[in-house]
Each structure stands twice: as structure tokens, then as C-alpha cells.
Amino acid sequence: MSPIGFSCSSLKEGRWYEYLIRFALGGAATVFTGFVSSRCGASIGGLFLALPAIFCASATLIEKHEIRRKREAGLDGRRRGEEAAALDAAGAALGALGMLTFAIVFSLVVERNIPGAFIGASLAWLVASVTAWCVRRKMRWVRRKQSAGKISGPADSRGR
């Protein structure tokens, strides 16, 4: 299992306009949500708080970076880029569980304590997302170990 790591060097792979696109998309998504809320009400506006607009840009950038890295090494890299974006999407699906927890905690706490709602909901998001990710990783690891055991089993008995 690869450990969780932190590397600032990956920021150098990005081009300035890619950060500008993310900034503009984030701003536009927030403006859009406010606009929908003011026109259609808080409920429909609230739905768009979980709109994956930013994810579209992130996944596309991850794919581009992976392809660029592989092309520099003389490989095609297209399939690798798609796989990297797929892994990011799997992570986003787990992160959505965290977002669900964020929304539940915020809606329950905000009318009693506003700063507490922001802090509590953000912590709930972090804990739920990381827990979901760790559980999924552990399950995959156990499954892989079991299937590796099945493959090596007959070979071991042959050896005896």
C-alpha cells in the first residue's frame, strides 16, 4: 500500500492558466449557486452546493499532466492519463460521503451556533472522507491478498 504523501513539486507541473481556469470556475460556480438560490429558492440553490463543476476541470488537468509526463518519457500516456483521472473520480465518490456528512452536521448546528457549524461541519467532512478512503483501501488490500493466496495456493501444494 502506497503511503499518503505530500509533495509541493507537483504544483510546478501546472501552468499559470490552469490555476486561472480553476479560480474562474470556482468563482463562476459560487456566483451560479447564488444566482440559482435567488431565483429558484434556497432548496434548489442548495443542490448546486454539491455541483461537480470543479471536478470536471480537476480530472481533465490530472489526465493532461499524466499524459504530458508519459510523453516526455517517450510513451503515449493516454491510457495512463485516463486511469489517473478514474482514480481521482473514485476518490471524489468517497469524498462525496464526506460532503454528505458536512451538509448534515451544518444543517443541524447552524441555527444554534454559526462558527460551530462551520468548524464542526468541516471537521466532519475531513473525518468522514479520510475514514471512507482508509476503509476502502483496507478492503482492497485484503481482497488482493486473498486473491494472491488463491493463486499461490495450488503452486505451493505442487511444490510440496
Three-point CA angle 21, 53, 99, nearest 5°: 125
Nearer to another protein, 30 or 152 (CB): 30
Q: What's the min distance (Å) between Cβ of 156 and another protein?
A: 31
Nearer to another protein, 78 or 152 (CB): 78
Maximum alpha-carbon separation in the chain:
75
Q: What's the min distance (Å) between Cβ of 131 and another protein?
A: 11
Q: What's the min distance (Å) between Cβ of 160 and another protein?
A: 38
Contacts of 143 (CB under 8 A, 6+ apart): none
Q: Hey, how many other C-beta atoms are within 10 angstroms of the C-beta on 106? A: 18
Nearer to another protein, 15 or 149 (CB): 15
Q: Quick check: 97 and 132 in contact, CB under 8 A?
A: yes
From CA 95, how far away is CA 52, in angstroms rounded?
A: 11
From CA 21, how far away is CA 76, in angstroms rounded?
A: 26
Nearer to another protein, 48 or 70 (CB): 48
Q: What's the min distance (Å) between Cβ of 157 and another protein?
A: 34
Contacts of 118 (CB under 8 A, 6+ apart): 106
Nearer to another protein, 83 or 142 (CB): 83
Here the cell at position 105 is 452536521
Q: What's the min distance (Å) between Cβ of 147 and another protein?
A: 18
From CA 43, how far away is CA 50, in angstroms rounded?
A: 12
